[in-house]
Amino acid sequence: MRRLSLSGILAAILSFSLSGCAGMAQKVQEVKVPVPVPCKVEAPLRPALAVDGLPVGAGIWEQMKALRAERKQRQGYEAELEAAVRACQ
């Protein structure tokens, strides 16, 4: 009799423990978290400006021509810088 009750208790414990494993599995929830990453864009090289190459006694027309060329150089350089900044955002 004693043996029957011990085996009955073990059977009950085993059945309860197995029924605990048969519960609903937890649903996996995906969470998107922004992660900062370092920007690895090289800055463009600064151009040699046209005005810096003028001789000291250059005439007004030469100076104006060099200033117009420098303006175009700066616009191109600024566009390259802006593209580098946009690549990091």
Instruction: Please write the tens of the pLDDT for every residue from 33-84.
Output: 998 888 888 889 999 998 998 998 899 999 999 999 999 999 999 999 999 9
Residue pointed to by tokens 């303006």: 71
11-43, pLDDT tens digit by residue? 888 777 776 666 677 888 999 999 888 888 888
Q: pTM for the full model?
A: 0.54
Cβ(50)–Cβ(69) under 8 Å? yes
The whole-angstrom separation of Cα 46 and Cα 73 is: 10
Q: How many CB atoms sit inside 10 A of residue 34's CB?
A: 5
DSSP state of 68: H
CA within 13 Å, CB half, 8: 5
